[in-house]
Amino acid sequence: MDLIAELRNLLPDNAVLTAPEDKSPFETDWRHIHNHPALCVVLPETALQVAAIMKTCGKAKVVVVPQGGNTGLVAGAVPVEGLRQIVLSCKRMRQIRDFDPVGDTMIVEAGLTLQEVQEAAAAQAKMFPVSFGAEGSAQIGGIISTNAGGLQVLSYGSTRAQVLGLEVVLPDGRIWNGLKRLRKDNTGFDLKQLFIGGEGMLGIITAACLKLRPAVTARATALAGIVTLEDAIALFRLLKTHAGDALTMCEFISGPAMELSLGHLKNVRRPFTAAAYVLVELSGQHGTVEIEDLLEKALNAALDAGCVADVIIAQNERERSALIRTREGISEGELAEGGAVKHDIAVPIAAIPETIRAVEAGIAERFPDCRLNIFGHVGDGNLHVNVRPPPGRSLHDLEDRKAAITETVERIAVAREGSFSAEHGIGQMRIAGMAAHKAAIELDMMRALKRAFDPEHILNPGKMLP
C-alpha cells in the first residue's frame, strides 16, 4: 500500500489503477492464456514519470512489466506467476514530437498506435511501412520492443529497419536520449539495437525516431491460385524478376487457412477454389497504369510457366481491400473456431515447400486427429504454423500435448537452418525453445547484457531467457 500511495503521488489523477475490473485487461494476454495479478497498473504520460516509477519500484524491489497495446502472441507484456509486480502501460504517451519532411523522419512517443503513426505520415505525403492486422491497437513502443514484422517485410524490412533513434528509460531510472535522426553514426556500439526486439528486458522505450518513405502512389493487388507448394516459390521468383523492389507483398495462404478466413468474414466471397493461394501486391511511386501493367505481365508469365492455376486482379480499392482482408482474417477466424497451438517459424525461402511437408507429416504421425492452419510470408521465409484441436474439441483438450506439438514444429524449422521465432518474439511462451535451440554462448551473452543493464531483475523477468 505504501508503494501504491507513493506512485499516486508521482502520477496524475486516475493514473494508478487498483480495482480488479480496471486491472484485468492489462493482466491478461491477447490470447487469454496467461492471467496473473499485478499490484496495480500505472499510466505515465512522460518519460520523466516513467523514470520516477522505475526508481520507486527499484527501491521497493517490485517488478515492472512494460506494456504497449498488449496485442502480442507470446505473453511478453503481461505479468508472470508469483511475483510482486506492476504493469506500466504506455498508452497515455501519445505525442508526435517532431516531423522532418526533408529528412523523412518522425519522432513519436511510445503510446501511439501503428495506425495513428501511419495516418500521421500519410497526412504529410509520407509512409511508415510496417503493417499488420493489429495495427489499430498495437503501439509503437511494443512494436519496436518486439521487432514486429508484418506484410511488407519483403520490401522494407522489419521494424528494426525503420528505427533511427530511441529514448529509453533504464531499469535504474536514468533516461537515455538516443533520439538521433542520423542515417550514419559510426561512434561505437549501436545501442538502440539492444532495445529493438529486447521485449522490455533492458529498458522501457518511451519515444522513437522513425524512418519514413515516400507515400505510395500506385498499387496493384492480385490473388493467385496454385496447385503445389513449389508453385508459390516459382511465382515469387517470377514476380521478383519482373517487378524487383516493387513487389511489396507475397503471402502464402493454405487451403485450410482460406477456409477459416472466409468462414468468419462478412461480405467477402471466395473468388475461386484452389489448393492454396498466394496474395501479391506491387506498389511504389509509379503511375497506376504502369504498376498494373507490370503485375499483369508478371502474372501472364506465371500462367505461361504453369505455376499459377487461376488469378484475380483487384480492379479498385474495394476489391483490393477484400483481398487483403482474406489474409488478415485468418487469425480472427482461427480464434473464433477455438484457437490453436501457434508457432512462428522462419526458414530459407527455398526450404518453404519441404518445411511445410515435413510439418504436415510430423503432425499427422504424432497427432493424427489435429488440424493444421498454415500461412505466412513467402518473401521472407516466415511461416505461421498453427495446430488446431480435432473437430468438436477445444484448445484446452490439447493442453497435455502442447509441449510435444511445439517441439515437433520447432525441431523441423531449426533442422532446416531456420528459427523457431520469426516475428512474434519469445515472451513467456517460447522460453523452452530458447533453452532447446539457442547456443549456450548466445544465452551467456544475453544473460550478461541483462545483468549489466538490470542487475536486480526489475524489468520484465520471466520472459525470453531460460
Residue extents of the structural domains in the chain: 2-89, 96-214, 218-332, 338-424
Confidence grade of residue 267 (pLDDT, cut at 50, 70, 90): confident
| 233 against 392, higher pLDDT | 233
State the pLDDT at residue 64.
Answer: 98
Report whether CATH 3.30.465.10 matches the domain 218-332.
no
Using CA atoms, how far apart are residues 439 and 238, in angstroms rounded to an integer? 37
Q: Do domains 218-332 and 338-424 have the same CATH topology?
A: yes
pLDDT tens digits for 7-65?
A: 999 999 999 999 999 999 999 998 888 999 999 999 999 999 999 999 999 999 999 99
- Per-residue pLDDT averaged across 306-324, rounded? 95
Report whether CATH 3.10.180.10 matches the domain 96-214.
no
pLDDT tens digits for 169-199?
A: 999 999 999 999 999 999 999 999 999 999 9
Using CA atoms, how far apart are residues 452 and 57, in angstroms rounded to an integer? 18
Q: In Å, how far are 154, 197, 244, 284 from 249, measured between CA atoms? A: 7, 23, 12, 12
Instruction: Report helix, strand or coil for 43.
Output: coil
Q: Which residues pair with 421 in a beta bridge?
A: 344
In CATH, what is the architecture of 338-424?
Answer: 2-Layer Sandwich (3.30)
Using CA atoms, how far apart are residues 169 and 177, in angstroms rounded to an integer? 9
Give domain 2-89's CATH number out of 3.30.540.10, 3.40.50.300, 3.30.420.40, 3.30.43.10: 3.30.43.10
- Per-residue pLDDT averaged across 214-221, rounded? 93
Pick from 159, 72, 157, 133: which is nearest to 342 by CA? 72
Cβ neighbours of residue 293 closer than 8 Å, sequence gap 6 or more:
none
Determine contact, residues 246/282, Cβ cutoff 8 Å.
Answer: yes
- Is 160 a residue whose pLDDT tops 90? yes
- Is 265 a residue whose pLDDT tops 80? yes
Confidence grade of residue 390 (pLDDT, cut at 50, 70, 90): very high
State the pLDDT at residue 438.
Answer: 95
**Per-range mean pLDDT, top range of 122-136, 192-206, 318-332:** 192-206
Confidence grade of residue 239 (pLDDT, cut at 50, 70, 90): very high
What pTM was computed for the model? 0.92
